[in-house]
Amino acid sequence: MANIFDAVKEAVPVPLAAERYGLQANHSGMARCPFHDDHTPSLKLNEDYFYCFGCGAGGSVVDLTARLFDLRPYEAAGKLAADFSVDVPATAPPDGSLNRFRTDLLRCQTVLDEYLNLLLRWKSRYRPRDETIDPDERYVEACQMLEPIDFMASELAAGTLEHRIRTVERLMTDGKMDQLEERLHRLSREEIANED
C-alpha cells in the first residue's frame, strides 16, 4: 500500500513544486539554488529529484519542500499533498507515535469543545441590548472566535486522518493548547466565583 510520501512523489514533479514555491528554472531545468549564495544557476531540477552542483543539496520533491520551508519530511509531504490536491492514503504519524497522537487528539477535542461552549454562552449572555453601548469584550471574542474554533473542532471530529493530524500538530505547537487550557480553567473559576 502506498503512503503519503509515495503518493506525493508520484503526483508532483520536482520542477512543478519548485515553480510553485518560487524557483525560476531556465530552459535547461537549472535554477539558482536557494540553499547557498548562488550567482549562476547550479540547481538542476529533474522530474524525480533535484541536485545542486554548488552546495551538494539534493533529494526528492519532499526533500526540496522540507528544505525550502524548514519542515520535517512528514510535514513537507503533507504540504505538498494539500498544495497540489494529492489524494493520499490514510496513515498514522510516521514515528510510531500513534498513542501520543490519540492522547493529543482527545485533549484538543476536549479543550476546543469546552471553549466552543463558553463562546456560545458568551455570545448569548453578553449580546448588547442597546447598539449605542460598546459591546462587552466577551461578546466580541465570541463573535470573532466561534467560526474558527467550530471549524477546528469539526476537523478533529469528522475530518480525514490527514486533516486531524495537521490540526493537532498546529494546536500542540508553541504551547497553544497549554495556554488555552489554562485560560479556560481560569475563566471557569471566575464564572463560579461570580455566581456565588
DSSP state of 134: P
| Bridge partner residues of 58 (DSSP) | 51
Question: How far apart (Å, rounded) are the C-alpha atoms in residues 43 and 55?
Answer: 9
Q: pTM score, two decimals?
A: 0.50
- Give pairs for 89-97: CB < 8 Å, separation 24+: 89/1, 89/2, 89/3, 89/4, 89/7, 90/160, 90/161, 90/162, 91/3, 91/4, 91/161, 91/162, 92/161, 93/165
Q: What is the pLDDT along the chain (196 residues), one digit of tens a residue?
A: 357 788 889 999 999 999 999 999 999 999 999 999 999 999 999 999 999 999 999 999 999 999 999 888 878 888 898 889 887 665 555 555 667 788 888 899 999 989 989 999 888 888 888 888 888 898 999 899 989 888 888 888 877 787 888 888 888 888 888 898 898 888 878 877 776 5
